[in-house]
Chain A
């Protein structure tokens, strides 16, 4: 099955700096890659996603890039703010019907004011 690895496990940045979180996947059939933000005690919330026919997608301060050849995708957060502090998960799914999402182990991002 699919295996998603995520790095780093923890990331500390100064407010205003950029943060980059990287994920790799193993199944070349994976075709959808969402990113989730989980605040303490809450369920994960989708923040951005990318499909395999696109190389990059941006939404204000957040962007995701996908390299299908290398089987890796990354989350980029620019001009970080304290409210960006949370745990971020990447995921991949090779299932046409999207029945199974495979998640990375998470990155705890701490933005220091």
Chain B
């Protein structure tokens, strides 16, 4: 079965610093991959999704970008973090048509 890894688990960064969060998956090939953000006590906001290498769709304009350099790797980045970027970042995958969406363990980001 598929496994989703995210690191780091927690991260504290100063405002204006860059960001790179990594998500890697095992046990599957050519998955659809997703980045979500969850503010404290709130729901899930879809940020980006990817249906293949180099293919990125952005859901909301923001201070973040995503890349998919390899089939099983999905990266979330920022050149300059804002306070509002704080949150719980979740990577997810599904296996295509009719597939269930599975979530990784998440990265908690605190921007100070």
| Residues of chain A having any CB pair with chain B under 8 Å | 32, 34, 36, 41-46, 49, 89, 91, 96-101, 103-106
Contacts and interface: CB of A to CB of B under 8 A. Distances in A.
A106 B51 CA distance: 27
B42 A98 contact: no
A46 B100 CA distance: 8
Interface of B: 4, 32, 34, 42-44, 46, 49, 51, 57, 59, 90, 92, 94, 96-106, 108
Given A41-B108, A42-B106, A98-B94, A103 B43 contact: yes
Contacts of A42: 105-106
Contact of A43 (B51, B59, B94, B104): B104
Contact of A44 (B44, B51, B94): B44
Contacts, number: 55
A43 B97 contact: no
A43 B90 contact: yes
Contacts of B94: 98
A43 B105 contact: yes
A101 B34 CA distance: 10
29 contacts: A32-B98, A34-B100, A34-B101, A36-B103, A42-B105, A42-B106, A43-B4, A43-B103, A43-B106, A44-B44, A44-B90, A46-B102, A89-B43, A91-B101, A97-B32, A97-B51, A97-B97, A98-B96, A98-B98, A98-B99, A98-B101, A100-B46, A100-B49, A101-B34, A101-B46, A101-B101, A103-B43, A106-B42, A106-B43
A100 B32 CA distance: 10
A13 to B, nearest CB: 20
**Top 7 A-B pairs, shortest CB-CB distance:** A43-B103, A105-B43, A103-B44, A43-B106, A44-B103, A43-B105, A106-B43
Contacts of B34: 101
A103 B59 CA distance: 14
Nearest to B9: A41
